[in-house]
Structure 1
Amino acid sequence: MNIIDISQEIYQGMPVYPGDPTFQSRRVNSFKQGDMCEVSEVTMGTHCGTHVDAPLHMLPDGQPLECFSLECFIGPCRVLTVPYPVISEKTLEELNVKPGERILLRTDPTGKYNKHARFNPAVLSMRAAQYLAQLPVKLVGIDAPTVENMELCDGEVHATLLRAGIPLLEGLRLEEADKENYMLSALPIRLTGENGAPCRAVLVEEN
């Protein structure tokens, strides 16, 4: 069995979406202070690093994270290599995306953005989002901080997918995922009533 970690590392100074809270860690108890154990206090945004978006993230009447079944985040998935700045409906049609699939969009196959701690600007077009929502697929993941155009930032791509009940898995690292078919595990932290949560995402490949 080969396990590929497709999550971002969480550390102080890591890049976060503009305007989001930064990751902070503070040692509360330590051996150096004479304490019997080590304990840290950490603060971070709900969309820090590799994370899941819930409908509440973009829809005023949207459901919180617990509306999603755990089945959404565990099971077979397809990694689709689409090294384009904008992923179109035509591209998804050519890749024969089917209803009920979990799809991960691999737009940065060389990992050049992750190597330099920079954001990958790849996005889904509005028509592509509508196509996936109409199928619908079970989950959409991407190796970018958001499925949305960061300059336009109108939230419509998010809203289209989330309104269809499709969880979004953002901030992935897919440079090592050079095959198409894997088993995915990407369970978000069990935060109640929240608009999203960080997760530890891995791909499993049977030998």
Structure 2
Amino acid sequence: MTNWIDISQPLTNDMATWPGDTPFSYSLTYTKEQTGSVNIGQITASLHTGTHVDAPFHYDTDGETIDELDLNRYIGKATVIDVSHVEEITAEVLQEFELKSVSRLLLRTSLPNNPKRFPSEMPVLDPGVAPYLQRKGVTLIGVDMPSVDTPDSKTLETHHALYNHGINILENIMLDAIKPGIYELIALPLAIHGADGSPVRAVLRPLTEKESL
């Protein structure tokens, strides 16, 4: 039996959202009593709610939209590493890890997973990691933070650096209970035509030693 681990934030009406962004809301539009047969719900939310994928169009008007992204990047072998011992994640920090044949890299940082509180501070992911990760063959980076850039950034240097080096972005995954190692990842964005991002249900499955080779 396959044991999948959910690493996505639950979508709740009291979850934290990016300051000033559209909060998540779920409610019943019609009840079974009203329709005579079914309950029908509706949601309102930013596309960057909870665990989500950024499309390049989010930070580059000429970039790909979420429905144009290569889905293969969000399915397959992924490596989880623990960088919680530093507050600035640089290429030099990543050089401490064996990243041979890694195409999807998930970073467990020092930021505690708390979906109901937006962090006032969080670790810094230096844009200089992008060329290093590209040389290693990484095409997807996932972080347990709301963004790969700091909340006050207006230039989004790390977003642009990753994009310019062919690396897609997965944000707000929950890794507090995940041990470093090799897993199978599924984190598919919705095919929302022309959109700048999408919430995802991200899951991991631990790989056996044979599978991880």
**SS of structure 2 residue aligned to 1:114:** coil
Q: Secondary structure at the match of 1:112?
A: coil
1:67 equivalent in structure 2: 68
Take 1:42 and 1:14, find their aligned partners in 2: how far apart are those partners? 14
What does residue 54 of structure 2 align with? 53
Matching residue's letter, 2:52: H
Question: In structure 2, do the counterparts of structure 1 residues 116 and 55 end up closer, same or farther at CA, with 3 Å as the change threshold?
Answer: closer
Superposition deviation, residue 101 in structure 1: 1.3
**1:164, CA displacement in angstroms?**
2.9
**Mapping for residues 1-207 of structure 1, pairs under 5 Å:** 1-33=2-34, 35-83=36-84, 84-98=86-100, 101-108=103-110, 112-114=112-114, 117-119=117-119, 121-206=122-207
CA distance in 2, matches of 1:20, 1:115: 15
Structure 1 Cα separation of the partners of residues 22 and 10 of structure 2: 16
Distance in 1 (CA, whole Å) between partners of 2:147 and 2:115 is 18
Tell me the CA shift for residue 147 of structure 1: 0.6
What's the offset of the Cα at 1:130?
A: 3.6
Question: 2:78–2:102: 8 Å Cα contact kept in structure 1?
Answer: no
The TM-score, its normalising length taken from structure 1, stands at: 0.90
Distance 2:113 2:186 in 1: 23
1:122–1:147 CA contact under 8 A, matched in 2: no
Paired AA for residue 5 in structure 1: D
TM-score (norm 2): 0.87
> Cα offset for 1:98?
4.2
The C-alpha deviation readout for 1:20-47, integer Å capped at 9, x for no partner, is 2101122111134463210111111111
Question: Are the equivalent residues in 2 in contact too, given 1:55–1:163 (CA < 8 A)?
Answer: no
Contact kept? 1:65, 1:192, Cα under 8 Å = yes
Shift in Å, 1:112 = 3.4
Residue by residue over 1:122-149, the C-alpha shift from the partner in whole angstroms, topping out at 9 and shown as x without a partner, is 2311212342245441100000000102
Give the direction of change, closer, same or farther, for the CA distance of 1:130–1:151 in structure 2 (3 Å limit): farther
Q: Taking structure 1 as reference, are residues 95 and 153 closer, same or farther at Cα in structure 2, changes over 3 Å only?
A: farther
- What is the CA–CA distance in structure 1 between the aligned matches of 2:199 and 2:168, rounded to whole Å? 13
One-letter identity of the residue aligned with 1:94: E
**Structure 2 unaligned blocks of 5 or more:** 209-213
Residues 99 and 138, structure 1, Cα contact 8 Å, conserved in 2: no
8 Å Cα contact 1:2/1:206 also seen in 2: no
Indicate conservation of the 8 Å contact 1:136/1:164, yes or no: no
Report the CA distance between 1:202 and its aligned residue. 0.3
| Cα distance in structure 2, aligned partners of 1:130 and 1:158 | 13
Tell me how far 1:86 sits from its aligned partner: 1.5
Percent identity, please.
Answer: 34
Q: Which letter maps to 2:63?
A: G
SS in 2 for 1:126: coil
How large is the RMSD of aligned CA atoms in angstroms? Answer: 2.0
